[in-house]
Chains A and B, each alone.
Chain A
């Protein structure tokens, strides 16, 4: 049994509860990116008792709309009180809004508008190099998000400056709000595109597999002289057949009936993983 893989399903239930409590959220991408954020935070050097440690690893959620998963992971890591998040999310006057906000412990930058995270991370990685600090910098982007031109500016700069303390991840779930990413604005050969920008590219065959993700992050750490990008092939809505691979679940709010169905599906998946 892989405890982290199992935990991903507990946290999916937390995400479901946060969304239902708040009356909205980006459930499809939350579910596809769960293992990515959970695996990252299981290995990042961050400390909730010292959240501003200058040597901490940095994470910027560029696809900020998947903040519900970030909340669940930060709560699991000891930065946030899960019950507070659940009760306050999206409520009047709440700090827990539908995108990351850096007044909340553990969140580095505000995001939500797409295409900013990688550029910000280039700055963080440059600062780390200037100050000879050991930290690593991570960002998570959506595949639909890759149509933002600023991302390609940042890819160019990171390659140019050979920022090997920087690692980007693409949540490659092949869906965005209007449908299939290749129909909306095709990416064709993403691997070749990133490589052409002087990045080390790792294809993660199953981006919802924590072992594969850990191996990829290990490889990224070993890679010198180039930034690394993971193309994590995930399933949008991962965890329940009701949601999986359906663009309509990008930000669908589950009905009471759907909630019960998803809850049961998540429990069943967890149960299966516990016996692996």
Chain B
């Protein structure tokens, strides 16, 4: 089991960048510990701004820094940065066109038993609805590194959701196919296409393996770039398939599933099933327990596919 969380990888990439570039600035809202950024703050005190527990101010201050040429990374729990400071994300980052990278840490149901105040199951929908905002959910630590390295080279705002806990690797070190804003093909198949983002990528990869072993030819896509959604990659992968199934750690509305269904229904109509969290406060538990409860595991996703093909 991998022991390195995606947020820890973010910290490493930002430290490497800050050492070379004085314009890299990280901002936290009393969240440096939960963001794994304590070592960054210690190593680069002049390129770190503590805002205190004030997420609205966090995002606007980041935008002010960015407007003066700084590469600002505002890092705060996904639940707060995507809702408490939503208007600041809209107005000061996207609308004002400032280079602020909004990093939502402990995203989805990472905080488990802490309840709905700390869960972010609406962030994909909310952030994607803002013109000019990009939305990324990297799957594993290797892809997180590639993504942050790419984000450091561009000038546009983006929202990045990271989970709290280490997740099983999807990719192998030294073999991490990554092209910015292009979905990564995890496996090819002829009957079924699975599409996922973030922490649901590994279960989808597992489901594809299970189904392929059973003789159900299944392809899988890592759509870490939820916005801009890789439409071409999606349509190419969906071509000829009987069924498309999406999986995401998000509410059932306005997330990856909705976007995939929108593209498929317009350009290559076929059955699309969306697996997601319920439209309700999620059951208490760890991420693994919650995912298992709602069928968001390799076996759970495979079961959904089997039943759908029978129907």
Contacts and interface: CB of A to CB of B under 8 A. Distances in A.
A162 to B, nearest CB: 14
B262 interface: no
Given A54-B68, A111-B91, A128-B68, A149 B56 contact: yes
A120 B68 contact: no
A153 to B, nearest CB: 4
B46 A122 contact: no
Nearest to A154: B57
A119 B65 contact: no
Interface in B50-75: 51-52, 54, 56-57, 60-70, 72
B54 A156 contact: yes
B87 A113 contact: yes
Interface residues of B, number: 30
Contacts of A113: 87, 91
A5 B244 CA distance: 69
B20 to A, nearest CB: 16
A127 interface: yes
B49 interface: yes
Contact of A157 (B25, B61, B70, B92): B61
A153 B50 CA distance: 12
B51 A157 contact: yes
B60 A116 contact: yes
B128 interface: no
Q: From DSSP, what is the main secondary structure of chain B's interface residues?
A: helix
Nearest to A130: B46
B38 interface: no
Given A110-B95, A156-B52, A124 B57 contact: no
A119 B61 contact: yes
Contacts of B98: 109
B185 to A, nearest CB: 39
Given A110-B91, A150-B57, A127 B97 contact: no
A225 interface: no
8 contacts: A109-B98, A110-B91, A119-B60, A120-B64, A123-B60, A123-B67, A127-B67, A150-B54
Interface of A: 54, 58, 102, 108-113, 115-116, 119-128, 130-131, 149-150, 153-154, 156-157, 160
